[in-house]
Structures are given as structure tokens and as C-alpha cells.
Amino acid sequence: MTANLQKIALKFFVRDAQAARLKEFVPVFHRWIQTRAVEGLLIDVADYSHLENGPGVTLVGHDSDYYLDTMEGPLGLLYTRKAPLQGPLEGRLRACLRTALTACAKLEDEPEFDGRLRFAGGEALFLANDRLAAPNTAEAFAALRPDLSAAFSRLYGGPVELHREAADARRRLAIRIVGDPAADVATLLRRLA
């Protein structure tokens, strides 16, 4: 069942949530659409920054969406894959990690943030966006563990800790991954290359 999971979400947290205001991401995401800064067909930007603990600022795409949000923990980039990818689950996870971290690196380099915005590479959040393929159960967590461990161990260059966030079946399966606390985005991207 979990091997068929296609709708994958990954979140990397901002080191200092005060380093940038959500509204600052709106023109950046509009420019990303115009310049095709990240892979895939980008469609629109939605500003939900007025909602507390909401989706923040969303870059809507055909294959995937990018959020700067506070819904799933502190401020961070939440990448959600909507379109299917080929290959085994571990490979799909690595592809999603590469895309999410590439977006993090691009955001860190945007002139609007003047070097203030940095992502904490040592921790990530995995979300299964398909309750049929990966319900929020201990069994689904156990079934995903080998692929998550393999993909994130490669990313972090060593063993990782995986923690299921909540046992509430009404919520998506969320797994916090803790790896190399000193890792930055550039290091993580090199490890995925």
C-alpha cells in the first residue's frame, strides 16, 4: 500500500522565523513564475499571510505546490508533490528532496532577503498526502520507515531518527526526521547529487 504513495510533502524549517515576513515571499514567487525558477509548470501565487497558522504564501503549480507556511510547525518551505513520479518510493523521495532543497537554496539567495533567510537543514518533516495509500497508523509508519530511512540517511550522510508526529487517524501521517544538525542546504544538495 505505502509503496504506491505518490502525494508526498516535505518541509524544511527556517532557522530564524523572524528573518522574513510572509508578505516578502509574494513578489519572489511571482518572479519564479515569470522566470521558471523551479521545475514544473507554475500557475499562480496565493497570499494567505493574514491567517494565523495557515498556508502562508502559496506558489501553485501543475505538478507540485510550494508553501511558506506555519501550518505544520514553525515557518518553513513546504513542498507538496501532486503528480506521479516513476520508480521506487525511495527514488521518488530523493527526487522530492532534491526539488524542495533546490527551492530552499533559491530562496536563501533571493535579494529580497539580503542573506537573512536560512533554512535549518538538520531536520525535516515528511507528510503523506494520501490517506488511502498511507493512513496515519503505526502500520503505515512501519511500512514507510525503510524507504524514509534510506533516503534521509543518504541525505544526512548517516543514521537518522524518525518520529511519528501524532496518532490521530483524522490527521495526515506526519513523520519528523532528525539528522545532521550542522547540515545546511548546500551540503544536503551535494549529498543528493
pLDDT tens-digit map of 92-150: 999 999 999 999 999 999 999 999 999 998 999 999 999 888 999 999 999 999 999 99
Cell triple for 155: 541525505
Q: What letters, b where the CB count within 10 A reaches 16 and e where it falls short, cover 134-145? A: bbbeeebbebbe
Distance CA(85)–CA(175), nearest Å, equals: 21
Distance CA(2)–CA(93), nearest Å, equals: 12
Q: Does 65 have pLDDT greater than 70?
A: yes
What is the structure's pLDDT at 148? 96
Please check whether residue 146 is in contact with residue 162, taking contact to mean a CB–CB distance below 8 angstroms: no
Residues 6 or more apart whose CB falls under 8 angstroms from that of 176 comprise 123, 124, 125, 126, 162, 163, 165
Please check whether residue 64 is in contact with residue 6, taking contact to mean a CB–CB distance below 8 angstroms: no
- Cα 124 to the chain's mean position, in Å? 7
How crowded is the C-beta side of 93, counted as CA atoms within 13 Å?
A: 25
Q: What is the mean pLDDT of residues 77-85?
A: 95
**H-type alpha helices, 71-180:** 89-109, 138-156
pLDDT band with cut points at 50, 70 and 90 for residue 87: very high
Q: Does 28 have pLDDT greater than 70?
A: yes
Q: Does 167 have pLDDT greater than 90?
A: no
User: What global pTM score does this model have?
Assistant: 0.94
Residues of the chain with pLDDT > 70: what percent? 99
Estimate the crossing angle of helix 25-35 against helix 89-109, to 10 degrees.
110
Q: Does 74 have pLDDT greater than 80?
A: yes
What is the structure's pLDDT at 168? 87
Please check whether residue 152 is in contact with residue 175, taking contact to mean a CB–CB distance below 8 angstroms: no
Residues of the chain with pLDDT > 90: what percent? 78
pLDDT band with cut points at 50, 70 and 90 for residue 1: low
pLDDT tens-digit map of 175-190: 999 998 889 999 999 9
pLDDT band with cut points at 50, 70 and 90 for residue 54: confident
